[in-house]
Structure 1
């Protein structure tokens, strides 16, 4: 591991807005009340990377609590450091494997989930790794409150189509869907947030897919 990664790992260990692995389990069922000190809704950004989406959503909605989830601490470092520097207190980061989500969130504890530009895992052999595969959807269903929504924003047409297929197969409720977000009427302040990689995709004239669904 390079020196810069080691430095970032060491630094996030001192951040009060980052919980890592076993440390995060103590917050199960108590994220709003104990970590954030309020009763506000809890919103997750899964595979958050540098946490750009979580941080910017927190700026837009101070009345909600946001948690960026990712396993790569050197990426989480960027969002956590920005939040500390800008005194954004309604965003936190959890360094875990998303497969273990149920160990860290109680049933019905989460109000909304965002999945922004995840690895599409295009190989058939890696379908179970896709963040909208059956095993992940089952976890989201468990932690979401009744009526809670999942949002997927991706540049990958295949992942978008795969997820839409899952929505139909499992008879989930589709709220909106587009293969070209920025030429649609769906864009609002939250959807207009752009990550570093999304800006690169747009510069290359890549279309951005978006869909929103909930469990029955």
Structure 2
């Protein structure tokens, strides 16, 4: 779905550095200082309008959440959600997930969420998939030894690809669900896309993975 361009979005994000830091690279290795505590740090790559990350922040106040999104016109909605919620443990950064090591030290993150990522179905675009070997290598650097990836999608092809990609990389898979909303998984926080797809009767696939 094409997003409506909002020419004022960038300026609005820049006017709230307490929620969206102007230069996130300056906080590399110091994100605990930015949040003002030593709680675990979880990142959602491709946070969209921020429904998931805000919901997670409300549900888990002891965890610090960062939402990464490249489009100002989308991210500004996440900014409004965070402001309206009044929570202090959710922050957003306007950057591309291809550059994680520019913003996080090795082992600085405790968990990465990948929710309804673009499936990039053509073989020539495999490297762009957020569960490709290219991205897994980056996640491995910034996650600590016990760090995990939590992945959700409605796309069966991407899910099967991700199972294969992560297994080939040597990751340990757990809590694999082929129909999340009919499983026993508790405290699920939905994204905008998840609600839309599930209402249409689509299966939601989910897994957790950790590096050995």
Provide the residue aligned with 1:213 in structure 2: 209
Provide the residue aligned with 1:24 in structure 2: 24
Provide the residue aligned with 2:186 in structure 1: 188
Provide the residue aligned with 2:141 in structure 1: 142
Deviations 1:113-135 (A, max 9, x none): 10111111111111000000011
Alignment of 1:45-124 (within 5 A): 45-124=44-123
Query: Over aligned residues, Cα RMSD in angstroms?
Result: 1.4
Q: Distance in 2 between matches of 1:3 and 1:205?
A: 27
Provide the residue aligned with 2:200 in structure 1: 204
Of 63-72 and 162-171, more deviation after overlay is shown by 162-171
SS at match of 2:203: coil
List structure 1 segments (4+ residues) > 4 angstroms apart after TM superposition: none
May I ask how many residue pairs the two structures share in their alignment?
Answer: 209
TM-score by length of 2: 0.95
Alignment of 1:149-164 (within 5 A): 149-164=148-163
Q: Distance in 2 between matches of 1:38 and 1:6?
A: 34
Q: Distance in 1 between matches of 2:110 and 2:46?
A: 17
Unaligned runs of 5+ in 1: none
Give the superposition deviation at 1:108: 0.3
Q: Distance in 2 between matches of 1:41 and 1:168?
A: 26
Unaligned runs of 5+ in 2: none
SS at match of 1:161: helix
TM-score by length of 1: 0.93
Are the structure 2 counterparts of residues 127 and 3 from structure 1 closer, same or farther at C-alpha, using a change threshold of 3 Å?
closer
Give the superposition deviation at 1:25: 0.7
Give the superposition deviation at 1:51: 1.3
